[in-house]
RNA sequence: CGGGCAGUAGCGCAGCUUGGUAGCGCGCUUCGUUCGGGACGAAGAGGUCGGGGGUUCAAAUCCCCCCUGCCCGACCA
């Protein structure tokens, strides 16, 4: 294809489609073409090598599962929405696997002794998640192949070891992909594990924000990131809160314009949430944003949503824009950035009125201090004196300490050395194959097309025969092809009867790392030309040494 | 699920306002001339105009319903 597909926005989408790697079937669903298949295979094989090297054993589990085991694990109801459920001819509930904890755990029930542990099992298998909004080519899809591994240990200490092994293997895998990953603390979400680390790659099209410290190693997903609070010294006020009229003012911004005393930093933002059915006030500094995931994680709330207007008016007697917590007897969660603040401004729970002179400690009944604010770029690091910045990233791997949720619900117990029955302690670890391809595409490209690293390139070398009708050129090209192939190099011969420019453009679009140009002009002098796609560097090699020299370079770069 | 944009040949697009039976570029086929960075000429092939219904003598074009894709948001193991 000469043109980018019109409906593509993301780089990986444009170039992978244009270069003939993938084709779309429907939203979030892609076919791999032969070129895409070759890259996917290389991704998979690198993952296999590294998984095997840390003691992983490869399996292959089914994609369609009985609904029953998902009911047992509790996920049948937990993940409503993206989990696809259907029935077979016998009216049995079935699901399409979105991951494979249940089935692997079921297999683990065969083990009965701590002597069978530890285990590390993995497979590369299709997952289906009915995402609300697939997008950005292969970055966010509904059907995809994932390497997922699962570890089984007698105790937390064992889990820690396997978790660390995965962390190292993942770093190694991604570095072989040519990607620099940032491991970040992440929220475990519905999984409820106690620790999880995501591997993030910086990319403009990434949809995950992470906070990274510029001086220490602190890095965390925005859903979890913390920041230190800069000290703010307020003017003291001995006065009780005073009402003042604020007709028509409904936003922090509008209120801030009333005067310096009401600047956003000096306002208390009052949000109303329904957490597991309980109406709860959440207070933040005016210029801070709530991080809903932190609220969910911090409260352990399963079902959490903003209150609607009726609920708010019913509970507080005013509409959003005039809300406050002074004198209110409701569960109240307060962000620590408000700790010790005095002389603040907040809503009076009466439309068009606010309060000033509010002293948090004196005037507000704090139910719980909980860090629930969203970290902003420029915030101080929670660990050191550094400053946090926010980066757009792609999540290409995620590792979880699962604990015993699945082993307990599905009955995977073993006897320990003292003869006591104990639930197996589990971990689960995932890498998306297609997403890895997309992330690499997003990282390595230019205006001419893709620039695959040698490790993932569909072909390592392309031999471009300028004039395939010229017998000498043709023979030289074929000879090189045979020689390189014989040395185990992944090589393709472009002897199509096309004009040279067409073949050059195609090689660049597809992103093959080395191009050997064979033409009459070079052959006269006994040379072939070498073009490195990555650097754009051109050089010449004697024809009879070219194969060996290039093979050497390729192998060094693998 | 809410908001926006779009669906016409394999790809990129025009035509729609003002109804008259579909066009351009690239690609494709054949022949010729070419041949070191997306060649040129000539002759061709290729279309249920996303689907259904309606209005009309007549619908790509007007009206109604639906489907699909992309982007933003909500959502997100």
Å: A545 CA to B75 C1': 58
In a domain, A382, yes or no: no
Å: A26 CA to B52 C1': 22
pLDDT for A77 equals 87
User: What are the contacts of A184-188 at 24+ separation with CB within 8 A?
Assistant: A184/A210, A184/A219, A184/A220, A184/A221, A184/A224, A185/A219, A185/A220, A185/A221, A185/A224, A185/A225, A186/A220, A186/A221, A186/A223, A186/A224, A186/A398, A187/A221, A187/A223, A187/A224, A187/A293, A187/A294, A187/A297, A188/A297, A188/A400
In a domain, A144, yes or no: yes
Residue A150 shares a structural domain with residue A89:
yes
pLDDT at A247 over 60: yes
Looking at the structure of chain A, the number of domains it has is: 3
pLDDT digits 0-9 by tens, A71-123: 999 999 888 789 999 999 999 999 999 999 999 999 999 999 999 999 999 99
Pick out residues 97-116 of chain A having their CB under 7 A from any atom of nucleic acid strand B: 98-99, 101
pLDDT for A483 equals 98
Å: A166 CA to B77 C1': 17
pLDDT digits 0-9 by tens, A376-423: 999 999 999 999 999 999 999 999 999 999 999 999 999 999 999 999
Say yes or no: Cβ of A537 under 7 A from any atom of strand B.
no
Going by the DSSP 8-state scheme, the letter that residue A98 receives in this structure is S
Residue A178 shares a structural domain with residue A30:
yes
3 state SS of A51: helix
3 state SS of A320: coil
Pick out residues 159-188 of chain A having their CB under 7 A from any atom of nucleic acid strand B: none
- CA atoms of A551 and A494, how far apart (whole Å): 18
Residue A437 shares a structural domain with residue A468:
no
pLDDT tier at A190, thresholds 50, 70, 90:
low
Å: A143 CA to B46 C1': 34
Cα atoms found within 13 Å of the Cα of residue A518, Cβ hemisphere only: 28
Nearest-CA residue relative to C1' of B76: A131
pLDDT digits 0-9 by tens, A329-388: 999 999 999 999 999 999 999 999 999 999 999 999 999 999 999 999 999 999 999 999
Q: For chain B, which bases have at least one atom within 7 A of a protein Cβ?
A: 1-2, 11-13, 25-27, 34-39, 68-77
pLDDT tier at A243, thresholds 50, 70, 90:
very high
Residue A312 shares a structural domain with residue A197:
no
Residue A114 shares a structural domain with residue A165:
yes
Nucleotide nearest to A406 (CA to C1'): B77
Å: A18 CA to B20 C1': 40
Neighbour-count burial for A517-542, b at 16+ CB within 10 Å, e otherwise: bbbeebbeeebbbbbebbeeeeeebe
Q: Summarize the confidence of residues A128-133 as an average pLDDT.
A: 93
Nearest-CA residue relative to C1' of B35: A499
Å: A452 CA to B39 C1': 30
In a domain, A448, yes or no: no
pLDDT digits 0-9 by tens, A269-317: 999 998 888 899 999 999 999 998 899 888 888 778 888 888 888 899 9
In a domain, A380, yes or no: no
Cis-peptide, bond into residue A221, ω within 30° of zero: no
Say yes or no: Cβ of A292 under 7 A from any atom of strand B.
yes
The residues, ordered by sequence, that sit 6+ positions from A147 with a Cβ below 8 Å of its Cβ are: A44, A47, A51, A122, A123, A124, A430, A431, A433
Cβ-contact A556, A549 below 8 angstroms: no
Residue A66 shares a structural domain with residue A172:
yes
Nucleotide nearest to A449 (CA to C1'): B38
Pick out residues 75-94 of chain A having their CB under 7 A from any atom of nucleic acid strand B: 75, 79, 81-82
Tokens encoding A454: 């040698």
Nearest-CA residue relative to C1' of B38: A502
Å: A31 CA to B41 C1': 40
Cβ-contact A550, A481 below 8 angstroms: no
Residues in chain A: 558
Percentage, residues of chain A above pLDDT 70: 99
Domain extent, residue A78, equals: 11-226+389-441
Going by the DSSP 8-state scheme, the letter that residue A116 receives in this structure is G
Å: A82 CA to B62 C1': 41
Cβ-contact A412, A108 below 8 angstroms: yes
Residue A132 shares a structural domain with residue A214:
yes
pLDDT for A399 equals 95
Tokens encoding A355: 């309060």
Longest CA–CA span in chain A (Å) reads 98
Residue A294 shares a structural domain with residue A145:
no
- CA atoms of A520 and A226, how far apart (whole Å): 64
In a domain, A453, yes or no: no
Cβ-contact A338, A298 below 8 angstroms: no
What ipTM describes this predicted complex?
0.94
Å: A188 CA to B5 C1': 36
Nucleotide nearest to A99 (CA to C1'): B77
Q: Is A230 exposed, middle or buried (0-12, 13-18, 19+ CB in 10 A)?
A: exposed
Å: A138 CA to B72 C1': 19
Residue A104 shares a structural domain with residue A21:
yes
Å: A547 CA to B30 C1': 39
3 state SS of A124: strand
Pick out residues 372-431 of chain A having their CB under 7 A from any atom of nucleic acid strand B: 428, 430
Å: A494 CA to B31 C1': 25
pLDDT for A234 equals 86
The residues, ordered by sequence, that sit 6+ positions from A442 with a Cβ below 8 Å of its Cβ are: A10, A11, A12, A139, A201, A203, A204, A205, A206, A394
Say yes or no: Cβ of A131 under 7 A from any atom of strand B.
yes
Q: How far apart are the first and last CA of chain A?
A: 29
Pick out residues 507-536 of chain A having their CB under 7 A from any atom of nucleic acid strand B: 508-509, 517-523, 529, 531
Å: A364 CA to B37 C1': 73
CATH of the domain at A163: 3.30.930.10
pLDDT digits 0-9 by tens, A428-471: 999 999 999 999 999 999 999 999 999 999 999 999 999 999 99
pLDDT at A328 over 60: yes
Residue A116 shares a structural domain with residue A38:
yes
Nucleotide nearest to A505 (CA to C1'): B38
pLDDT at A253 over 90: no
In a domain, A450, yes or no: no
Cβ-contact A444, A436 below 8 angstroms: no
Q: Helix A156-176 vs helix A34-53: angle between axes, to the nearest 10 degrees?
A: 140
- CA atoms of A548 and A540, how far apart (whole Å): 14
pLDDT for A188 equals 65
Q: Summarize the confidence of residues A483-501 as an average pLDDT.
A: 97
Cβ-contact A210, A220 below 8 angstroms: yes
- CA atoms of A530 and A461, how far apart (whole Å): 10
pLDDT tier at A193, thresholds 50, 70, 90:
low
What mean pLDDT value characterizes chain A?
Answer: 93
Say yes or no: Cβ of A541 under 7 A from any atom of strand B.
no
The residues, ordered by sequence, that sit 6+ positions from A189 with a Cβ below 8 Å of its Cβ are: A293
In a domain, A479, yes or no: yes
pLDDT digits 0-9 by tens, A19-62: 999 999 999 999 999 999 999 999 999 999 999 999 999 999 99
Residue A31 shares a structural domain with residue A81:
yes
In a domain, A381, yes or no: no
Nearest-CA residue relative to C1' of B6: A7
Residue A250 shares a structural domain with residue A215:
no
Residue A362 to residues A162, A238, A287, A342, Cα–Cα distance (Å): 49, 11, 22, 9
Q: Summarize the confidence of residues A130-141 as an average pLDDT.
A: 93
Q: How far is CA A324 from the centre of its chain?
A: 37
CATH of the domain at A490: 3.40.50.800
Nucleotide nearest to A506 (CA to C1'): B38
Cβ-contact A172, A56 below 8 angstroms: no
Cβ-contact A391, A404 below 8 angstroms: no
Å: A61 CA to B67 C1': 35
């Amino acid at each position: 294809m000469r043109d980018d597909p019109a409906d593509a926005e993301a780089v990986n989408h444009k170039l992978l489609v244009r270069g003939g790697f993938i084709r779309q079937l429907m939203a979030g669903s892609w076919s791999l073409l032969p070129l895409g298949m070759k890259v996917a295979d290389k991704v998979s094989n690198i993952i296999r090598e590294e998984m095997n090297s840390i003691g992983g054993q490869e399996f292959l589990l089914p994609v369609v599962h009985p609904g029953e085991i998902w009911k047992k694990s509790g996920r049948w109801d937990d993940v409503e929405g993206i989990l696809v459920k259907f029935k077979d001819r016998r009216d049995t509930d079935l699901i399409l696997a979105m991951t494979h904890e249940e089935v692997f755990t079921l297999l683990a029930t065969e083990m009965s002794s701590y002597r069978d542990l530890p285990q590390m099992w993995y497979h590369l298998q299709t997952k289906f998640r009915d995402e609300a909004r697939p997008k950005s080519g292969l970055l966010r899809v509904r059907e995809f192949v994932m390497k997922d591994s699962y570890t089984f240990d007698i105790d937390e200490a064992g889990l820690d070891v396997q978790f660390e092994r995965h962390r190292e293997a993942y770093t190694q895998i991604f570095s072989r992909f040519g990607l620099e990953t940032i491991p970040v603390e992440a929220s475990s979400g519905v999984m409820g594990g106690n620790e999880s680390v995501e591997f993030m790659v910086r990319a403009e099209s990434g949809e995950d924000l992470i906070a990274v410290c510029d001086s220490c190693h602190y890095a965390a997903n925005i859903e979890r990131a913390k920041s230190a609070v800069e000290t703010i010294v307020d003017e003291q006020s001995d006065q009780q809160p005073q009402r003042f009229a604020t007709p028509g003012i409904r936003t922090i911004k509008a209120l801030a314009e009333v005067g310096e005393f009401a600047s956003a930093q000096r306002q208390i933002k009052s949000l109303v949430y329904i957490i597991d059915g309980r109406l709860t006030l959440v207070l933040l500094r005016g210029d801070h944003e709530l991080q809903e995931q932190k609220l969910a994680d911090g409260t352990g709330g399963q079902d959490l949503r903003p209150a609607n207007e009726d609920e708010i008016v019913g509970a507080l007697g005013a509409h959003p824009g005039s809300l406050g917590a002074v004198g209110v007897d409701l569960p109240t969660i307060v962000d620590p950035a408000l700790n010790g603040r005095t002389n603040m401004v907040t809503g009076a729970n009466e439309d068009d009125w606010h309060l000033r002179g509010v002293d948090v400690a004196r005037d507000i009944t704090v139910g719980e201090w909980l860090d629930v604010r969203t970290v902003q770029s420029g915030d101080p690091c929670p660990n050191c004196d550094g400053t946090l910045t926010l980066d757009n990233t792609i999540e290409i791997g995620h590792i979880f300490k699962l604990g015993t949720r699945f082993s307990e619900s599905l009955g995977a117990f073993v006897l320990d050395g003292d003869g006591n029955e104990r639930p197996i302690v589990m971990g689960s670890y995932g890498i998306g194959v297609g997403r890895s391809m997309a992330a690499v595409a997003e990282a390595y490209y230019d205006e001419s097309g893709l620039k695959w690293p040698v490790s993932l390139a569909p072909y390592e070398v392309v031999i471009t025969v300028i004039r395939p009708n010229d017998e000498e050129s043709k023979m030289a090209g074929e000879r090189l092809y045979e020689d390189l192939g014989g040395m185990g190099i992944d090589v393709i011969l472009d002897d199509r009867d096309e004009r040279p420019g067409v073949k050059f453009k195609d090689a660049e679009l597809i992103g093959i790392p080395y191009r050997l140009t064979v033409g009459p002009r070079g052959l006269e002098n006994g040379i072939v030309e070498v073009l490195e796609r990555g650097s754009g560097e051109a050089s010449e090699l004697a024809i009879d040494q070219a194969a060996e020299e290039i093979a050497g370079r390729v192998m060094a770069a693998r």
